[in-house]
Amino acid sequence: MLQCRHAQEFSFGPRALKDALISTDPALQELYAKAFSSTEKLFLSEAYNPRRSLFCSLFIRTAFDWLLSHPDAPEDFETFYYTLLKKNQRFCRKHIYLQPIGKLADGSEGGWEAGAYCVESFFLGLRVKCLPSVSISSIHCCYRHNQDSDRMQLHTDGILTFLKNNKPMDALCVLGLTLADLYPCETWSFTFGKSLPGQVGICSFARFSSDFPQSSLADLVAVFIHWLTLLPSSIPVHEYTLTSFSHGKVMCHEICHLIGLGNCRWLQCIMQGALSLDEILLRPLEPCPICLRKLQYVVGFKLIERYRKLVRILFLLLSDQIGHGVGGGEEVGEWKRAGVRILAVTPIYFMSIEPNFQNLKRIY
């Protein structure tokens, strides 16, 4: 792959970021003022703080990055809001359904199930339900042999039709999960996922598996370098934990599309598009403040409550290493202390502004 000489920053100025978040529309400014507390507004204002340390600018790392391949106008909150009004999209249903397709084997099943807990915390206020697995043969979708990977691939459209025809009545949306590799059309080599906004979507974990040469534990570890530096060198990081994070990110990204969020070009964000595994791994688990406001408008959660739930789930995922290759005794205590240090450098440190954060730390 052709590499850029240096990673280049891709950023907007403070005024553009502030307008994207709060809007220049008086009605939407009033909506912003009513929706968030002063503490939450302080947190969100990091989006347009020139000296921000909590949310980072985007970087272009290769000549084939998604940012260069899709020079679309970024979607601000105002555009998102009025697009929903035109579509008359309603969010009265409160259930997200996950539909496993085929067997999620080789340890991936635990990974996606742990990812499902991330989903319920990410979309706090919505209920996540897991449907019984269905076989690939029962879907009757088209398939092909990919010469590049020398593996079979499933066509996304047949799967989406199946999911749409079998969507539960109380479902806000349904997301299919599979270890099979996917393709959306003959001209594409593969895709990580595809969705019908407001209805159903499908995402594949195939490219995270060892079946593909570009997938490895080293790739997964690379994206957590800024966290791993906080861990004692004696503590190994198990693949299960990193896979759980990656699966959770993919699922949350696709579900955000299903409830109306587009790809993000403002700041580093879970809603960035991706054309490669590297780009997916480098995406953060969290939305930027602009996408977070969109998500809050749709789901209706309180930011502080959402972050409290995320802290619990992420801490449990980190602690779960104890059952997946990490020893006991003093090592367990090291992992718990390391878990608190890791979470302290993520956007979740926002809760340290709240006095009740001390109570949370005592729980751990």
What are the catalytic residues?
A: 254
Q: Which two tokens stand for residue 147?
A: 């010469």
Write out the H or E segment, with its range, that includes residue 193.
strand 193-196
What is the spatial distance between Cα 288 and Cα 265, in angstroms, rounded to a whole number? 10
Q: Token pair of 56, please?
A: 């980072």
Comparing C-alpha atoms, which of 176, 179, 240 is closest to residue 207? 179
Q: What angle do CA 190, 11, 39 make, to 5 degrees?
A: 105
Q: Residue 211 corresponds to which tokens in the numbers above?
A: 């079946």
Kindly report the backbone phi and psi dihedral angles of residue 238, in degrees, each rounded to the nearest multiple of 5, phi listed first.
Answer: -80, 145
* Measured torsion, CA atoms of residues 345, 269, 198, 66, in degrees rounded to the nearest 10: -150
Residues 6+ apart with CB under 8 A from 324: 238, 240, 241
Torsion of CA 237, 242, 243, 248, to 10 degrees: 150
Residues 280 and 269: their CA atoms lie apart, in Å, by 11
DSSP letter (8 states) at residue 323: G
Total number of residues shown for the chain: 364
